[in-house]
Each structure stands twice: as structure tokens, then as C-alpha cells.
Amino acid sequence: MRKAERHSFILRRAWELAETGQYANWLFVEIALRQEGHHEAPGVLDKESERYLLDVMCERATGKPAWGDKFTHEKIVRIAS
């Protein structure tokens, strides 16, 4: 499997994990990926936009803020500007 294919696979797997509701935020998803043997996960999930998306997915799946109430508001304001 080529590098781009591995990265796409890892990103799709991260989305799957986030949607399970078992993880509070992107960091826990990354840890789970590394435990599954995807040691490239930190490099794949290095963009702020990807981490934000995973946080939103985790929040929706768990019904709880990824990093506390202030986190989501601050992230939205920073990304929107």
C-alpha cells in the first residue's frame, strides 16, 4: 500500500472511531489508532482542520464537548476568522 493510500485509510479509520462514541476527542482517537498499529497516525492527523473535524464527530457521538464548553466556541471563532 502506497503512502497516500495508507494515510487515506488511517483517516477513514479515525472517522469510524470518532463516530463510535467511545472517544472524547481527536487525541484519544489518535491513541487508539496507534494501539491498532497505525504508527503514522500522528503525521496523518497533524492538520488542525482534521483534528477539529474529529473533535466535532466525537462531540456528536458522545453528546459531550470534546475539551469542555469553551473549547468548541474558541475553535469555531479561530477557524472562522
Give 23-52 pLDDT, tens digit per residue: 999 999 999 999 999 999 999 999 999 999
Kindly report the average pLDDT of the chain as a whole number: 86
Place 64 in a pLDDT band, splitting at 50, 70 and 90: confident
Place 66 in a pLDDT band, splitting at 50, 70 and 90: confident
Closest CA to 71 of 27, 14, 7, 36: 27
Evaluate if pTM is beyond 0.95.
Answer: no
**Higher pLDDT among residues 67 and 17, named by residue:** 17
CA atoms lying within 13 Å on the CB side of residue 5: 2
Number of domains in the chain: 1
Contacts made by residues 74-80, CB under 8 angstroms, sequence distance 24+:
79/48, 79/49, 79/52
Domain span including residue 46: 3-80
Cell of 63: 453528546
